[in-house]
Amino acid sequence: MSEDILFYRSDREYGFLSNLYRCSVLFEGRVYRSSEDAYQFGKPRKKEVAEWLISAPSPHLCAAAAHSLFAFDIIPEWSIKKVPRMASVIEAKFRQNKDLYELLLDTGTSKLIENSKTDPFWGIGKKGDGKNTLGILLMDLREKLYQEEWH
């Protein structure tokens, strides 16, 4: 039986699983400093707002600014588009960074849990019963990469 792996802070153990972890990600023809930047760039309606988001001094400030956007600043149907975008972004992150690819595979069959107390959608939230969507996407990607490695 494998143990759960909790991650959240990019500077801690398993921090490479966080979208705030700094590593180059080429996505949709552009290089970003983190998967968070690549993900958030797709959220605003206006390109100048997207550029402003990724000009923040750090990935976590980019995320904070993106969370503050008003509904009219966000592309239509973001709630439908955000999960497939995140899946594509994290796949790019791990395929392009061989060290991170290997580290992801090294997590074996452990359950990956984004230990965010503030986000019950991407993480587990304050009560620990959130959706853990990021963790699920990472486990799905890990399984896909395993299948490619061994078949």
Closest listed residue to residue 34, CA positions, set 49, 47, 24, 26: 24
* pTM, entire model: 0.95
Phi-psi region of 47 (alpha: psi -120 to 50; beta: other; left: phi over 0): alpha
**DSSP reduced 3-state for 7:** strand
Q: Give me the CATH topology for the region 5-150.
A: Tetracycline Repressor; domain 2 (1.10.357)
Q: What is the pLDDT along the chain (151 residues), one digit of tens a residue?
A: 479 999 999 999 999 999 999 999 999 999 999 999 999 999 999 999 999 999 999 999 999 999 999 999 999 999 999 999 999 999 999 999 999 999 999 999 999 999 999 999 999 999 999 999 999 999 999 999 999 988 6
